[in-house]
Every structure is written in C-alpha cells, then in structure tokens.
C-alpha cells in the first residue's frame, strides 16, 4: 500500500501542485481513508519528501535502462529526455518552483540528492561521447557535468520562463540542443541534427 500511495501522490502533486493537493484529495483518488495514509506518513511534508524520492528513484532506474541499450551518447541523451518529458507532461506549474516556494527544505534536499544521483550518468555520457568521437576531447568533464545539470534545472525556473505542459518539453529540447552543440565534434553535430529532426516538436 505504501508504494501505491507514493505513486499516486507523486502523480497528483505533479499534475495539480504541491500546495493545492491535500491528503483528502489523495485518499479520495485512491479510494481509501485518510487514516490509511497517516499509517505510513505522519504528515503532508513527509509524503511530499517520500513521493519525490520515489519518483526520482523510478526515473533513475529508467535512465539506467536507457544507458544499457547501446545508443551513442547523443541518442542516449534524447532517450533520457523522453523519460523526463513523460514525467512532467501533465504539469501546468513548475514542480521545482512550487517546492522552492512552499517546501524550501525539501527543495534544497532534492537538488542535492538529484545531482548526487544523476551526476555519474551525465559524466559517463560525456566520457562515452568522447570515446565515440562525437564530443570534443578537451572538455572539462566535471565542469561540463555541472553546467548541464544547472541548465536542465533552470528550465523549471518560472522567473526565467513561462512554464506549462505545452512549453516544458520544448524548453528541455532547446536546453539539450544547446548542451550538445557546446560540446560536440562535427561528427556529433551531424548526429544531433538527425536527432532534432526525429524528435521535432
């Protein structure tokens, strides 16, 4: 039951917002009593924390599956983008902005945990691209990893961009294109152009 609650809570928070969704809403969606939720989570803050961690772990597992499929480094990035586009496809408001505004302690923890979780994936992608001759050999790999993580997080900043479910996927695609153009060789740029055509929105 705990995992079912976490999955539904995560989906509901992403769709309607962390602030507006109540424990009653989640209980009603699941067809259970609010008391059942409180058996597993002492309050909404704990449910928010746990549901986000659950979603991140699920996304991370899907990313690892993509990395095992034998794509070249640039294709791999586009496939990973699809995972996060699917995750946020029903979000009309930036989940990260809401966390920062209403649950600042959770937001700080999530950013730290997310970078810790995904930095090795980004770094391995960079190393893979260099080996394949599609990323430049003179990259500062650690710095490039941090740049890319910061760039992808910034597209969720409502102070910078208009955020809704119709624009987020386009923003993520532009950010990915920007990242790859900055680090790719001529061979890599050709692959990028092919992927942009395939994944045109």
> pLDDT tens across 98-132, in order?
787 888 888 888 888 888 888 999 999 999 999 99
The predicted pLDDT at position 166 comes to 66
Residue corresponding to tokens 């999955």: 7
- How remote is the C-alpha of 4 from its chain's centroid? 21
The predicted pLDDT at position 113 comes to 84
The predicted pLDDT at position 92 comes to 59
The predicted pLDDT at position 161 comes to 64
The predicted pLDDT at position 39 comes to 93
Domain count, the chain: 1
Asked whether residue 183 is domain-assigned, the answer is yes
Asked whether residue 30 is domain-assigned, the answer is no
Asked whether residue 80 is domain-assigned, the answer is yes
Residue ranges for the chain with pLDDT beneath 50: none
Asked whether residue 36 is domain-assigned, the answer is no
DSSP string covering 74-139, please? HHHHHHHHHHHHHHTTT-SS-HHHHHHHH-HHHHHHHHHHHHHHHHHHHHHHHHHHHHTTSB-TT-
Asked whether residue 15 is domain-assigned, the answer is no
Asked whether residue 12 is domain-assigned, the answer is no
For residues 17 and 15, give the distance between their C-alpha atoms in angstroms, rounded to a whole number. 6
CATH number for position 87 = 1.10.357.10
In 3D space, the residue among 100, 113, 114, 117 whose CA is nearest the CA of residue 156 turns out to be 100
For residues 47 and 133, give the distance between their C-alpha atoms in angstroms, rounded to a whole number. 45
Asked whether residue 38 is domain-assigned, the answer is no
Asked whether residue 37 is domain-assigned, the answer is no
pTM as predicted: 0.85
- DSSP secondary structure letter of residue 184: B
DSSP string covering 17-48, please? -TTT--HHHHHHHHTS-HHHHHHH-SSHHHHH
């Amino acid at each position: 039951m705990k995992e079912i609650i976490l999955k539904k809570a995560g989906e509901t928070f992403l769709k309607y917002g962390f602030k507006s969704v109540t424990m009653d809403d989640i209980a009603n969606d699941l067809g259970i009593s609010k008391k059942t939720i409180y058996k597993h989570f002492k309050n909404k803050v704990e449910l928010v924390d746990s549901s986000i961690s659950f979603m991140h772990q699920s996304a991370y597992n899907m990313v690892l599956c993509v990395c095992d499929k034998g794509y070249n480094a640039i294709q791999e990035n586009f496939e990973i983008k699809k995972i996060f586009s699917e995750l946020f496809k029903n979000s009309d408001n930036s989940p990260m902005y809401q966390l920062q505004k209403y649950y600042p302690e959770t937001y700080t923890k999530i950013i730290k945990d997310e970078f810790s979780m995904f930095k090795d994936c980004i770094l391995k992608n960079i190393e893979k691209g260099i080996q394949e001759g599609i990323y430049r050999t003179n990259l500062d790999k650690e710095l490039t990893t941090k740049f890319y993580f910061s760039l992808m997080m910034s597209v969720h900043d409502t102070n910078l961009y208009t955020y809704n479910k119709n624009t987020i996927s386009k923003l993520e695609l532009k950010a990915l294109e920007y990242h790859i153009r900055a680090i790719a060789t001529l061979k890599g740029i050709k692959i990028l152009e092919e992927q942009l055509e395939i994944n045109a929105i």
